[in-house]
Amino acid sequence: MRNSPPETPVSSIGDRLPGPDPGAPLVQLFESLRPDLLRFAHWLARDRATAEDIVQESLLRAWRSREALKDPSAARAWLLTIVRREHARLYERKRLELVPLDEITEMQAALRPAEADGELFALRHAIMRLPIEYREPLALQVLGGFSTEEISRELALSSTAVLTRLFRARNKLRVIYGLSPAPDAAPQGAA
């Protein structure tokens, strides 16, 4: 089944009404606002077919309660509210599967990395144990690929302070791994 363009309604209410109807201006109003409703529903649902279903159901709800619309100039806001609520109803009905926390912990323990990946896990754990002032520049340099100047701009530090923090972070990692720290060649006053 081919999707209909947004300018034409999926099912025109006016085609099904016999003869002249006192609701004809309302039908025309609903049909003229349908493209806006469809765009809004598509933005909410991120899926064309779902958006069309939402708009169709919303127009049906609006038609059933058309007496509640006192001012036709407020129809757009009224219909958009109906579309938003109809979209919310989709997720009201959808129930997520709950898993006990103990099961997740057991699954994660069973999925522990192999011995080669164990070193990577230990390194990540060691980096996370570093104080934040050393962890940030190290992560920006090693993981983000930032230069010293970029890190200094990002953290509002001098280049010397960034270099000192990187040096100290690496030394702290060496100590965590049981290695001897590198000789202290960093400038003394920078922090």
pLDDT-derived band at 158, boundaries 50, 70, 90: very high
Decide if 157 is inside a domain. Answer: yes
The CATH number of residue 76's host domain is: 1.10.1740
Render 65-102 in DSSP notation, one character per residue: TGGG---GGGHHHHHHHHHHHHHHHHHHH--PPP--HH
Together in a domain, 126 and 79: no
- Entry pTM: 0.42
pLDDT-derived band at 159, boundaries 50, 70, 90: very high
Domain boundary residue among 93, 121, 137? 93
Give 37-83 pLDDT, tens digit per residue: 999 999 998 899 999 999 999 999 999 999 998 888 899 999 999 99
Decide if 102 is inside a domain. Answer: no
Together in a domain, 70 and 125: no
Together in a domain, 76 and 118: no
Decide if 105 is inside a domain. Answer: no
Together in a domain, 86 and 137: no
- Highest mean pLDDT among 5-14, 66-75, 106-115 belongs to 66-75
Q: How many domains does the chain have?
A: 2
Work out the burial of residue 34: count CB atoms within 10 Å of its CB; fewer than 13 is exposed, 13-18 middle, 19 or more buried. buried
The CATH number of residue 167's host domain is: 1.10.10.10
Together in a domain, 17 and 53: yes
d(CA 114, CA 126): 18
Does residue 91 register a pLDDT over 50?
yes
Q: Which domain holds residue 155?
A: 113-176
